[in-house]
Structure 1
C-alpha cells in the first residue's frame, strides 16, 4: 500500500509516505511556512521513492483540532489531490496522532493512558484522552475544547502521561490531574509520519472517505468562534 499523509495543524509542517509498511517523512518547524513548504515536501518524497502521484492508493491528513489556518491548508491540498487523482482520503485526529507519538516516546504501557493537550487560544485547551491498545491510541470519551480548569482524565485507566504544548498550562488544571500524571512531554506536536501510520490502519478498517467528505475538525463551536475580536 502507498499512502501520502500531510500535517499542518500546528507549528510543524510535514509530509510522509507510507510505502508497504515503511514510513518516510519530511518535517520542519515553521509556524508561517506551511504553504511554502508543503508542496516541495510532497514532490521531494515522491521523487526520492521513485513514485508518481498516480502510484498512490490513498491520501491522509491531520484534520484537526489545531491551528484554524493550518488545518485549512492541509484540507485544501488534500482535497485538491484527492479530486485530481480520484483517491480516497483518511482524516486523522491531530490529538490522536500525538497520542501515538507519546506512546512510543514516553514508553506508555499496554492499557495506560495519554492525555493530549493543545493550546486552543482564548485561554482554552483542545483535550483528548487515549488508552494504549496494542500500540495504538484508543480514544476514551470525546475530544473537546475547554479551559484548563475543566479538563478531566477518563475513568478506567490507572497510569497517565501528558503530551503536547498545552501542558504548559498545567498550573491551571485541577490538582488531581497533576497528581495522576507520571510524566509530560510538551515538545510533541503532530507529525505526518504518525498520521500516515494511523491512516494505514484506518484505511484497512474501511474508514476512508471521498474528497468532499475530507473536512476539517475544529471542535470549537460557532458560538465560541464568534467571540473572536471583530467577529459578529
Structure 2
C-alpha cells in the first residue's frame, strides 16, 4: 500500500497492480478474522505521514492531540470507545476471556521461573489445554519462555533494529532509499502492534521482520556510503 502511494517513479498501471495486491492481502486478513492484524495495519497507516515527512513530527503529534482533545471534550471519544468495547465484549467475550486466562497463566509461570523461564515452546506443558501454544502478547510470551532478563534483551534487540532502520531512513540521500526504509519501518510498526494481540514470540514471523529490517538497513547504508544509491531498488 505504501509503495503504491510512494513518490517512486511508478507507472499508473504498476500502482493499480500494487493496490490490487494490497486489496487481496486485506481480504485474506479479513477472512481469517485476524483482529490483531487489522489493529497492526491501522497503526501502520496512522504513522505513515510521520515516516513520509519526519520533519513534520511536531505537526503530526499536534493533530493527534487536537483530535483526542476534541473527542474528549465532546464526549464522542468516550462514547465511541464504550460502544466499541461493549460490542467487542458481547461478540468476542470468549476470545477475551481466553486471552486473559493465558496471561494469568503466564504471570503464574513468571512467579515460579522469573530468571530462566520455562523454555522455548514449553507453554503447552504448563497449560491444561494442549492446544494453547503461547500467550497472545509478545512481551509476556518472551518472559515466560526465556525469563525476564532474556525478554529484556530481546526487546532491546527490537529497539536497536528499529532505531538503526530509522536512522538509515533519515540519512538516505536517494528517494528510493528513503522509500524502502519507510516501508520497512511501517512493517516493523505493524508487526510490533500485532504482537500485542497474537503469538509472535520466537516464531519465524518476528525473526523474518527483524532480519528484513536489518538487511535493508545494511544495504542502504552500504549503497549510500559508496554513493551509488540502492541498486536493488532500480
TM-score range relative to shorter protein: under 0.3
Higher strand proportion (structure 1 or 2): 1
* TM-score for the superposition, normalised by structure 2: 0.23
